[in-house]
Structure 1
Amino acid sequence: HGVWGGINPQGEIELNFYEESDSLPQWSECLVAPDGSLGPEMMDEENLEVREVVRRINTRVLLNYNTARAVLEWLEDRVAALEMDESGMAVYPRNITGPEQ
């Protein structure tokens, strides 16, 4: 979902890739239908207003100056390729507000 980082004390670029999700409740209670199947979840009114987000760091990447420059050039090439179709015409980023007038 994102990345956080900066330059660490060793002079390397540090990237911490993370994912975010809502935290799971401590408990959950559901109604049980007469046939034994689970019905709707009973909501705790107190916890409806509280939303906690859990952030988990999945990967930590350290780049020295030379590697960072190489990755930057590689990314620029990939972004340029995304921006062009096979004929060399610019196609990306697409106009998300609608057709041009």
Structure 2
Amino acid sequence: MAEKNKQIIFKYVHPTDLRDLYVNGLWGGVTPRGEIYAHFYSERHPIPKKTVHEIREDGTFNPSGEIETGGDAVRLIQTSIAMDIKTAIAFRDWLTNQINIANKRIDDGKA
């Protein structure tokens, strides 16, 4: 009888456009198909849509002027993910484990 393989090797392939993203919030829910969907965003003050400055007699302009922002805060969606419930549970368990490791490092003064 042939022996079953005792291991599997996964190769990790990184796309050339891979980038690290900083996020400080997320928004999402359950799709009509019962999958979990989340938009990860970074929140910040808005960049002005425009600024208007008075030009002085000497050709310089007043640094403070009219600013049009279009909102109080911006939530820039960095990426969105969708996953089935089985993957969401695995992600939750992995994330809980990482939180526990991070908290231990903080408690031990190593973070």
Once the two structures are superposed, the pairs formed by residues 1-101 of structure 1 within 5 Å of their partners are 1-21=24-44, 22-29=46-53, 34=58, 40-44=62-66, 52=71, 53-85=73-105, 91=107
Deviations 1:53-75 (A, max 9, x none): 33322211001111011111111
CA contact (8 A) 1:28 1:41 kept: no
- Whose strand proportion is higher, 1 or 2? 1
Identity rate of aligned residues, in percent?
A: 25
Count residues in correspondence: 83
| TM-score, scaled relative to structure 1 | 0.62
Could you say what the CA RMSD is over the residues aligned between the two structures, in angstroms? 3.0
Structure 2: how far apart are the matches of 1:64 and 1:4? 17
Gaps of 5+ in 1: 93-101
